[in-house]
Amino acid sequence: MTAEDDDLRLQMVALLPRLQRFARGLAGSRDAGDDLLQQVCEKALSRLDQFERGTRLDHWLFQIVKTTHIDRVRQQQRQRTADFTDDVVALVPFDARIEEQTMARQELARVREAVQELPEEQREVLMLVVADGLSYQDAAEVYGVPQGTIMSRLARARRKLARAIETPRSQAAREGRTC
């Protein structure tokens, strides 16, 4: 292992909390997120020589999280045998640990639920920009799309999220609203 590799690995460790948060946000639960992160780390380590020195390591790793997550979702979709409704429930797991906590915690759990109900591309941008604090420009670089696209997805996500949080779940159910 070269000194340069050692340095990269240390940087990866320092980035783990951010990667963990992003992975959990995409995967929808702690366990699934941690599984995803494990896979991401293995993939990144096997491709460490492909990382271009002088570029942003966090961007590179976020891209790997994103693509690995997409691969896993596609794989899950291929494996579906049960009826669709059950699968949707399975893809939007609820963290029981949060449910047991305080009222304040319950509100945050409701936020997480609502985030999970957002369309994939909106949820990804929301996690990167709002939860992780990436700038619009940085998020655009991670996704390889124009900054305006990022802003448009993010604005739609947040307006939708605001409505979802304010709408009582029972009312949403009556209206048949999904997100």
Q: Which residues bind other proteins (CB under 8 A)?
A: 1, 6, 9-10, 12-13, 16-18, 20-21, 24-25, 30, 33-34, 37-38, 41-42, 45, 101-105, 107-109, 111-112, 115, 126-127, 129-136, 148, 151-152, 154-156, 158-159, 161-162, 165
Distance CA 88, CA 42 (A): 28
Nearest to 37 by CA among 62, 53, 20: 20
Interacting residues of 34 by C-beta distance below 8 A, sequence separation 6+: 20, 23, 24
Q: Smallest gap, in angstroms, from Cβ of residue 73 to other proteins?
A: 20
Nearest to 98 by CA among 123, 115, 73: 115
Q: Smallest gap, in angstroms, from Cβ of residue 53 to other proteins?
A: 18
Distance CA 44, CA 95 (A): 28
Q: Smallest gap, in angstroms, from Cβ of residue 78 to other proteins?
A: 27
Taking the least distance from each CB to other proteins, the nearer of 34 and 87 is: 34
Distance CA 160, CA 163 (A): 5
Q: Smallest gap, in angstroms, from Cβ of residue 86 to other proteins?
A: 26
Distance CA 84, CA 36 (A): 23
Taking the least distance from each CB to other proteins, the nearer of 65 and 127 is: 127
Taking the least distance from each CB to other proteins, the nearer of 72 and 156 is: 156
Taking the least distance from each CB to other proteins, the nearer of 94 and 136 is: 136
Q: Smallest gap, in angstroms, from Cβ of residue 58 to other proteins?
A: 8
- Kindly compute the dihedral angle of the four CA atoms of residues 41, 51, 60, 44, in this order, to the nearest 10 degrees: -10
Taking the least distance from each CB to other proteins, the nearer of 13 and 173 is: 13
